[in-house]
Amino acid sequence: MSVWVYGEQKSELGLEGTITRKLEEDLYEVFIGPQHPGSGHMRIIIRIDGDIIVEADPDMGYVHRTMEKLSEGREWIKNVPLFERMAIHDACNVTVSYVMALERILGIEPPPRAKYLRTLLCEINRIAAHLYGFGIFGVFIGHSTMYMWSFADREVMVELAEKLTGARLTHSYPIPGGARRDMPQDFPQAARKAVRYFRRRLDEYRKIFLDNPVTRKRLEGVGIIPKKIAAELGVVGPVARASGIKYDARLAEPYDAYDEVEFEVPVYEEGDALARAWVKFEEIKQSLRIIEQAVDWLEKHPREAPIHERFWAKAPPLWKKVFEAEGRVKLLPLMANLKLPPGRAMARSETARGEIVYYVESDGKTTPYRVRIVSPSARNAIVFKYIAPGYKVMDLPTIYGSIDYFPPEADR
Amino acid sequence: MMAGIIDLILSIIFYPPIYQLVLVGLTGALVVVIFIIWFERKATARVQRRLGPYHISPRLAGLPQLVADLIRYAFQEVIIPKTVDKELFVLAPIVATVLSILPIAVVPLTSNPAYWPIPMDYSMLVALALTTVSPIFLIVAGWASNNKFSIIGGVREAFVITAYELIAIMSILSASAAVLSFNLVDIVEAQRIWYILLNPIAFLAAFLAVLMATSGFPFEIPESENEVVAGPFTEYSGLLYGLNMGAAYMKRFAFSILIALVFLGGWSPFTPGEGILSGYLIPSLIVVAKATILMMIFSLTRSIYGRFRLDQALEGAWRLVFPMAVLGFGLALLEAYLGVM
Amino acid sequence: MSLDQARRIAEEALSGIEYRVDEGKGFIEFIVAKENLVEAASRLKKAGFDHVKSLTVVDYKAEDKFKIVYHASSYLNEDLAKAIVGIGTEVPRSNPKVPTLVYVWRSVEFQEREVFEFFGIEFEDHPDLRLLLLAPQIAEKKPLRKDFIVKEEPIIRTKPPTG
């Protein structure tokens, strides 16, 4: 396609005209977003021939916050709350790999209790984020009941996370060398109750949404990503696993307590929107299993400070007193001016939407030299460009919802 | 002179098609629509485990919420964008609303000839013909808006019209094939057994066609929010938007009345007698009650289903529901041959 | 399979090309000359590294160079998936141009666009090198380079009202 400039005379005068592209004949260009009920904070420019999408161009960046640059001016620990803002409902999963990268540079391993606590919160977050995704997916294909149900049930998990960390969404829970605080005494009962509740509810979800004939008709065979193409496009998370790729960062490079707990990674071969919905659905079940195991482990083992002893040794007496009396640990003051030795590390973790990769480089100061973040949605955005063409306009929300694209996370 | 004018006005008001349109059509429809929208919100809320409308009069469970909404729509600014075709943009929703309620002007709500709006010989044909006029104006609204989403919505509406119209007409007409009459009163009187039991296939086809015609939930395609914002109504605001939204419910009401007459035995089990009470009021209330129950069933689909894709809805309509309607028609002919009705 | 085994596979694939190994924690990088980048990348892909996880660019202002590394891993080979292997090159800050690897790994398409706007690094032959996230005015400043300094807004402390 050639580039056309409106108004030749204007460009002679040195004024830039609007650069437009001439459309092929019979194509209809529709700008979906950013102020559109079905777009989120992004724009998809689609060109349609009749009812068929022939070209789709995801135009991202509407909620870009330059996190990579901002992080270079902040202390190591302050970047945790910053990176959380990518996906606030998935806060622990998103930041745990950043913290892991820091730990790798520091050369420390968190104590097992901290590992289990992190795992616990990660799984709680995963369920909440999947429910969020289900809700958006439901409303995208006009299923308001799924939307209302999953957003209401997400509240259970959000409250569980609040019980554990003190914050509903932005927990800032993982810190280098451990976790920010231990679980309260009555947490195991609450967690088990939530797990029981979800087991019952998931069955109802399946009945009303996944096995609903209308939903199945809408999702089956839509947005098919064959295995080879999925690998070529580098899609992540449930999108990749629905296409038959057996890849999960929790399996590939087990972090925290994932090499000790038992869980399965659901993999589907179909690669369509329905398979992606099923992957998420099954993952919720697996997360429930992990939550149970983590809670059991935490209950059985005696309480210890969920932070590496190297830091705990330097804790002020008040912190130790509070820990002995109430069993909780607050953020250590030395974290504020944490200095990392020079070094480079990469770490990955599996968020609800897929794998997030951090590259962290330290030059020995209290702030990072460079942090590179590649979030799952940023890697999945390419699906719009290569998979959406060929499907109908009404399939676009289906594809959008099924890859669970989350603009703030993609834009970083 | 004065008396003459008053007589004239009175004769206009009491001209049967007019008072039926005003009494049952506008007033009745408004009351029923307010109730139905409330019911739809409450029932959906019940399924979705939330409260639904609550703040306007909690004692009535939020029933007057829609009145409040209507008042809000009435006082909202009507924004008419510069790029639209002004006359059509304003006219289309008004005409669509009026036309969608118009079939009520020709349906009988009693067997007492004194209260018939028009001579009944071809009333069913006239009513069915009138139902087909209003959707055109939704397309007009879409085109007049001069907005890509509106146009896509309008085109979708056009596709859906072609799909449901034939089905609706064929399945409802099957009753007249069975009774060998276009007279709605004859059809109602002939139903010793309700026609729904004699010809459930035609009823099912009619039910699905009405669901499509009024953007009921698996077929809520022209206004599908996630692709085309609000379809033909994207550029509308204030009262005009409210009219657009109301038109679909009005149309559903008109269709429901028609189905109540044709399939659900009309005013049976009551036999209309003389006088306004037993001759008009009671039978018409029975018909409206049946129509309301039908509409309540329509509104339950919202909480169960998502929406079909356009091509799937069309495919379903042409491949599945249309043969069903034909089958229903054949069944009706068979029943006429055997003299069941 | 550990990182060492993945390293051996990558070294085998890259035999004949001059490279320098940069080790980090949790990954390994092979730095080659700019001219050999496409060749090296396609050999790595043939060896089984089928997608790029992160296109990492670091601005070493003191050494006057950009380090561009494609951190690749595998989906289809479950053993290789456990390691992250980078292939990269270094370009001077004055002339930041590298050949694109889109035709080797389609998964870098959007990431190359991102690097293009943040660092001003041009990827030659990229099919669609446009801005991805930033507005043109901001992309001109090439915000992730080290000479772009984010001005911290001062924290204004006011004394709490007394009395």
pLDDT tens per residue, range B2-60: 778 888 887 777 776 677 677 666 777 788 888 888 888 888 888 888 887 777 777 77
Contact check, Cβ <8 Å, A212/B306: yes
A218: which chain B residues are within 8 Å (Cβ-Cβ)?
306-309, 312
Position B109 scores a pLDDT of 79
C59 in contact with chain A, both atoms CB, cutoff 8 A = yes
Q: State which residue of chain A sits closest to C147, comparing Cα positions.
A: A69
A372 in contact with chain C, both atoms CB, cutoff 8 A = yes
B225: which chain A residues are within 8 Å (Cβ-Cβ)?
37-38, 142
A252: which chain C residues are within 8 Å (Cβ-Cβ)?
78, 81-82
**Residues paired with A116 in a beta bridge:** none
Contact check, Cβ <8 Å, C150/A357: no
Q: What is the DSSP letter of C25?
A: B
B290 pLDDT higher than 60? yes
Indicate the residue of B49, B221, B309 with minimum beta-carbon distance to A148. Answer: B49
Residue with the two structure tokens 């993952």: A283
Residue ranges of A 250-279 with Cβ closer than 8 A to chain C: 252-253
Band the pLDDT of A3: cuts 50, 70, 90.
very low
Contact check, Cβ <8 Å, A218/B312: yes
Give whole-number Cα distances, A263 to A288, B286, C80, in Å.
Answer: 10, 60, 22
B302: which chain A residues are within 8 Å (Cβ-Cβ)?
144
Would the CA dihedral through B323, B329, B333, B334 be positive or negative?
positive
Band the pLDDT of A18: cuts 50, 70, 90.
very low
Q: HEC states along chain A?
A: CCEEECCHHHHHCCCCCCEEECCCCCCEEEEECCCCCCCCCCEEEEEEECCEEEEEEEECCCCCCCHHHHHCCCCCCCHHHHHHCCCHHHHHHHHHHHHHHHHHHHCCCCCHHHHHHHHHHHHHHHHHHHHHHHHHHHHHCCCHHHHHHHHHHHHHHHHHHHHHHCCCCCCCCEECCEECCCCCCCHHHHHHHHHHHHHHHHHHHHHHHHCCHHHHHHHCCCCCCCHHHHHHHCCCHHHHHHCCCCCCHHHHCCCCCCCCCCCCCCCCCCCCHHHHHHHHHHHHHHHHHHHHHHHHHHHHCCCCCCECHHHHCCCCHHHHHHHHHHCCCCCCHHHHHCCCCCEEEEEEEEECCEEEEEEEEECCCCCCCEEEEECHHHHHCHHHHHHCCCCECCHHHHHHHHHCCCHHHHHC
DSSP conformation letters of B271-315: ---SHHIIIIIHHHHHHHHHHHHHHHHHHHGGGT-----HHHHHH
Q: State which residue of chain A sits closest to C143, comparing Cα positions.
A: A69
pLDDT tens per residue, range A277-327: 999 999 999 999 999 998 998 888 887 777 777 787 788 888 888 877 776
Q: Are strands C97-99 and C122-124 parallel, antiparallel or unpaired?
A: parallel
C114: which chain A residues are within 8 Å (Cβ-Cβ)?
378
CA distance B304 to chain A (A): 7
Would the CA dihedral through A235, A237, A241, A247 be positive or negative?
positive
Contact check, Cβ <8 Å, C50/A61: no
- pLDDT over 90 percentage in chain B: 1
Q: For the whole model, what pTM was predicted?
A: 0.86
Band the pLDDT of A7: cuts 50, 70, 90.
very low
Q: Answer whether B196's CB lies under 8 Å from B135's CB.
A: no
A345 in contact with chain C, both atoms CB, cutoff 8 A = yes
A42 pLDDT higher than 50? yes
Position B173 scores a pLDDT of 87
Position A45 scores a pLDDT of 87
CA dihedral A315, A319, A320, A322 (to 10 degrees): -170
Chains B and C touch (3+ CB pairs under 8 A): no
A145 in contact with chain B, both atoms CB, cutoff 8 A = yes
CA distance C162 to chain A (A): 29
CA distance A160 to chain C (A): 32
Q: Which of B220, B226, B299 to mutate to test the interface with A (most CBs of A within 10 A)?
A: B226
Q: Answer whether C85's CB lies under 8 Å from C7's CB.
A: yes
Residue with the two structure tokens 């007049």: B144
A203 pLDDT higher than 70? yes
Chains A and B touch (3+ CB pairs under 8 A): yes
Q: Answer whether A57's CB lies under 8 Å from A45's CB.
A: yes
CA distance C24 to chain A (A): 5
Q: 3-class DSSP state for residue B174?
A: helix
Closest Cα to residue B221, out of B160, B174, B170, B180?
Answer: B160
CA distance A394 to chain B (A): 6
What does chain B come to in residues?
341
Q: Answer whether B129's CB lies under 8 Å from B213's CB.
A: no
Q: Long-range contact list for A144-149, CB < 8 A, 24+ apart?
A: A144/B44, A144/B48, A144/B302, A144/B303, A145/A208, A145/A209, A145/B44, A145/B47, A145/B48, A145/B303, A145/B304, A146/A205, A146/A208, A146/A209, A146/B306, A148/B48, A148/B49, A148/B50, A149/A201, A149/A204, A149/A205, A149/A208, A149/B48, A149/B49
Indicate the residue of B48, B226, B312 with minimum beta-carbon distance to A145. Answer: B48
pLDDT tens per residue, range A82-139: 898 888 888 888 999 999 898 888 888 888 888 898 899 999 999 999 999 888 888 8
Give whole-number Cα distances, C111 to A347, B4, C99, C106, in Å.
Answer: 18, 84, 14, 10
Q: Which of A35-44, A185-194, A278-287, B142-151 has the lowest mean pLDDT?
A: A35-44
A51: which chain B residues are within 8 Å (Cβ-Cβ)?
310-311
Indicate the residue of B218, B225, B307 with minimum beta-carbon distance to A38. Answer: B225
C55: which chain A residues are within 8 Å (Cβ-Cβ)?
374
pLDDT tens per residue, range B68-92: 888 888 888 888 888 888 888 888 8
CA distance A309 to chain C (A): 22
Q: State which residue of chain C sits closest to A345, comparing Cα positions.
A: C25
A25 pLDDT higher than 70? no
Q: State which residue of chain B sits closest to A148, comparing Cα positions.
A: B48
A241 in contact with chain C, both atoms CB, cutoff 8 A = no
Tokens describing residue B15: 């001209």
Contact check, Cβ <8 Å, A38/B305: no
The residue that leads in pLDDT, C110 or B215, is C110
CATH number for the segment(s) A67-411: 1.10.645.10
Q: Which of A125-139, A229-243, A369-383, B64-78 has the lowest mean pLDDT?
A: B64-78
Residue with the two structure tokens 């609450």: A190
Position C107 scores a pLDDT of 86
Average pLDDT over residues B178-195: 82
Distance CA(B122)–CA(A128), nearest Å, equals: 60
- pLDDT over 90 percentage in chain A: 6
Could you tell me the residue ranges of all domains in chain C?
3-139
Position B24 scores a pLDDT of 66
CA distance B156 to chain A (A): 10
Q: Which of A145, A215, A392 to mutate to test the interface with B (most CBs of B within 10 A)?
A: A145
Indicate the residue of A37, A142, A392 with minimum beta-carbon distance to B307. Answer: A142
CA distance B128 to chain A (A): 29
A204 in contact with chain B, both atoms CB, cutoff 8 A = no
A108: which chain C residues are within 8 Å (Cβ-Cβ)?
none
Residues 6+ apart with CB under 8 A from A6: A17, A18, A19, A20
pLDDT tens per residue, range C39-95: 888 888 888 888 898 888 988 888 888 889 999 888 888 888 888 888 888 888 888
pLDDT tens per residue, range C22-45: 888 888 888 888 888 888 888 888
A66: which chain C residues are within 8 Å (Cβ-Cβ)?
143
A271 pLDDT higher than 70? yes
What does chain C come to in residues?
163
Q: What is the DSSP letter of B26?
A: I
CATH superfamily of C3-139: NADH:ubiquinone oxidoreductase Nqo5 subunit (3.30.460.80)
Position A164 scores a pLDDT of 86
A9 pLDDT higher than 70? no
CA distance A298 to chain B (A): 34
Indicate the residue of A143, A148, A392 with minimum beta-carbon distance to B306. Answer: A143
CB pairs under 8 A between A and C: 112
Band the pLDDT of A5: cuts 50, 70, 90.
very low
Contact check, Cβ <8 Å, A105/C25: yes
Contact check, Cβ <8 Å, C118/A68: yes
Backbone angles phi, psi at C139, to 5 degrees: -60, -30
Contact check, Cβ <8 Å, C134/A104: no
Could you tell me the residue ranges of all domains in chain A?
67-411
Contact check, Cβ <8 Å, C152/A347: no
CA distance B16 to chain A (A): 42
CA distance B310 to chain A (A): 7
Q: 3-class DSSP state for residue C33?
A: coil
